[in-house]
Structure 1
Amino acid sequence: MRRTTAAALALAATTALGLTLTGCDAAQEKAGDVFSSATAAVASAAEEKMNEVRDGVNAGGDVEAGPTSTDGDRTVAEITATNPKDTAADYTIMVNFRDAEGKFLDSVVLNIGGVEPGASKSGTARSNRTLTGATTAEISQALRH
């Protein structure tokens, strides 16, 4: 009787452990899906902001992203716009943050206004949420207007 009870307990424990691990995997998968959806929504919102700019011209060559660092719980990067034109200009810049493997993490839109002709001006791109691990900032799109 003891062997049967011990075997039944062992089987029950193994089954419970299997269900717990399966539940954990399902929870991780669901969390990953939610994270992916939220990340896609942030990217979409950034693209919408860029689409609101009227009379903007592609200015990717005018803008550079510096290295990332942390400011409190957010990742930041200094973005510099250099105006090659002969009149003052405003810049609207979409900055993507990526992890060490190049995976998209976040996207923000930064405005740098009143950049004088032949001059440079900087602004800080600040992530929408806490990013972990090594990150880089890249200019996804830049418009001069």
Structure 2
Amino acid sequence: MGTALAVALGVAVTGCSDGNSPSGQASKAASAASSLASRASGTVASATAEAKRKLDQVKNGVDAKKDVSVGKVTTGKDGVPATEVSAKNTAGDKKSFTVQVNFRDAKGDLQDTVVVNVNDVAAGATGRATALSHRKLTGDIRADVGTALRH
């Protein structure tokens, strides 16, 4: 029994990391990944709060999500995703649109959100604007319309 306890303690002590062993390096990598994920999460939370603030500033806006669409996401040389926003004005006079565009990864997780304005769209016409992410995003990024207000 004493030998088994000594072996168990030896294994436990051997498993401890000094930071330079493979398990220590893995721990450092996991910590860095967690820190990066935390910063990314904070960035998304900040962008979401800013989008809400901008949408809240719109006076007398009506839901126009069915009249707004986004195109395929393209990524420029700078690594920043962009998409074209199209807003069809079904009202009888000139209107503007304030649109929240969400950038999501292939799993559907929100990576960024931005607000764009499509201004002074004539009655019956379609206006366009470009939504640019606030930051570089990697992988298969897609866009969708979060909120669209016609005013």
With the shorter chain as reference, the TM-score category is 0.7 to 0.9
What is the aligned length? 134
Q: Does 1:103 align with 2:109?
A: yes
AA aligned to 1:40 is A
Gaps in structure 1 of 5+ consecutive residues: 1-10
AA aligned to 2:120 is G
CA RMSD of aligned residues (A): 1.6
Corresponding residue to 2:74 among 54, 66, 69 = 69
SS in 2 for 1:132: coil
SS in 1 for 2:108: coil
Q: Does 1:120 align with 2:94?
A: no
Corresponding residue to 1:23 among 20, 28, 35 = 28
Separation in 1, partners of 2:76, 2:59: 32
State the shift of 1:44 in Å. Answer: 1.1
SS in 1 for 2:71: strand
Q: Does 1:35 align with 2:40?
A: yes
AA aligned to 1:47 is K
Corresponding residue to 2:147 among 125, 141, 144 = 141
Q: Does 1:51 align with 2:44?
A: no
Separation in 2, partners of 1:88, 1:64: 19
Separation in 2, partners of 1:31, 1:66: 29
Using the aligned pairs only, state the percent identity.
33
TM-score (norm 1): 0.86
Partner of 1:5: none
State the shift of 1:34 in Å. Answer: 1.6
Corresponding residue to 1:90 among 81, 86, 96 = 96
SS in 2 for 1:92: strand
AA aligned to 2:145 is I
Separation in 2, partners of 1:46, 1:89: 20
Which structure carries more strand by proportion? 1
TM-score (norm 2): 0.83
Gaps in structure 2 of 5+ consecutive residues: 1-13
Decide which moves more: 20-29 or 126-135. Answer: 20-29
Separation in 1, partners of 2:97, 2:37: 34
